[in-house]
Amino acid sequence: MLKNVKNRMFTHAIVRQPALSMIKGITTADLGIPDINLAQQQYKDYVDALRSCGLEIIQLESDEEYPDSVFVEDTAVLTADMAIITNPKPESRKGEIREIESLLRDIHPNLSKINSPGTIEGGDVLQVEDRFYIGMSERTNASGADQFTEILEENSYQGIKTPMENLLHLKTGVSYLGENTIVLYGSLVDEPLFDSFNKIVIQKDEAYAANCIRVNDYVLMPKGYPKAQSIIEKAGFLTILLGMSEFRKLDGGLSCLSLRF
């Protein structure tokens, strides 16, 4: 039997301070080098927003060895009763899991790991109640998705491999807001797996806004995407807008900056 995890409330978030080395992070965006002072301010505003949604923050120190380590979401998938340590694909990111694992071993007795040759990143995992959509991106391979699904099933959850194209991660183009409402962009708009949801469709000129997060009573979304904001608010959600320009320069979306549980 699958679990009943409707109306999930979050109580905690894990975040990691941006490293000064983030100027050397992986990117395909042609938006320039992040301004570290502005990135630190945007990170602080993000953490304050999570606090204002009622979350207790667990903050890891920055790690200069890992330029992309601020994108903590990619290193694990968490629920109230399960933690799965991922295996990021880029060599420069693999070591990020070390500190997350030792933190989670302290707070989560039920911990599993994805092993090579399997790779999977948290940005490719979208939880909708008791189901987990797994984006088959360039970062997540079949072995990673299969191992992940096996662990989910042992914990009475379901894994669903989800085809996708032209996006870094699944959640670059889809976000679940609760109340059966889903935000979609690009090829995911017509993906039959999402046909039973109420769809909020994001236009190409505001594609970055497809990555947003529902945190308790609010939807946190990037600042500067007025059409997306208006449609999400018209659907009945309260929004908090956050400057994300410096993380966007590294292909990072709003969800990537925290692990909520």
The owner of tokens 């999977």 is 120
Provide, rounded to whole angstroms, the least separation between the CB of residue 163 and ligand CIR: 18
Residue 212 known to be catalytic: no
Q: Toward ligand CIR, which CB reaches closer, 157 or 247?
A: 247
Q: Is the peptide bond before 18 cis (omega within 30 degrees of 0)?
A: no
Catalytic entry in 53, 108, 212, 256: 256
DSSP 151-194: HHHHTT-EEEEE---S-SSGGGSEEEEETTEEEE-GGGGG-GGG
- Identify the active-site residue in 53, 108, 169, 212: 169
The angle at the Cα of 68, spanning 65 to 70, to the nearest 5 degrees, equals: 100
> Which residues have C-beta within 8 Å of that of residue 107, sequence separation ≥ 6?
none
Q: Which is nearer to ligand CIR, 26 or 103 (CB)?
A: 26
Q: Does 169 bind ligand CIR (CB under 6 A)?
A: yes
Q: How far is the CB of 1 from ligand CIR (least distance, A)?
A: 31
User: Of these, 137, 140, 251, 259, which contacts ligand CIR (CB under 6 A)?
Assistant: 251
Whose CA is closest to 218, among 63, 51, 33, 72? 51
Pairing state of beta strands 131-135 and 213-215? Answer: unpaired
- Which one among 21, 23, 24, 26 touches ligand CIR, defined by CB under 6 A? 26
2 vs 31 by CB, closer to ligand CIR: 31
Contact status, residue 130 vs residue 3, Cβ threshold 8 Å: yes
173 binds ligand CIR (CB under 6 A): no
Active site residue 256: yes
Q: Which of 49, 50, 62, 73 binds ligand CIR (CB under 6 A)?
A: 73
* Burial (CB count <10 Å: 0-12, 13-18, 19+), residue 40: middle
Among 123, 144, 173, 186, binds ligand CIR (CB under 6 A): 123
By the rule CB under 6 A, 96 interacts with ligand CIR? no
Judged by CB under 6 A, which stretch of 22-30, 94-102, 141-149, 154-162 contacts ligand CIR? 22-30
- For the CA atoms of the chain, what is the radius of gyration? 17
> Quick check: 18 binds ligand CIR (CB under 6 A)?
no
Do the beta carbons of residue 140 and residue 107 sit within 8 Å? no
160 forms bridges with which residues in the sheet?
133
Task: Name the segment binding ligand CIR (CB under 6 A); options: 75-83, 142-150, 231-239, 249-257.
Answer: 249-257
Q: Which residues are catalytic?
A: 169, 256
Residues that bind ligand CIR (CB under 6 A): 25-27, 68, 71, 73-74, 93, 123, 168-169, 172, 250-253, 256
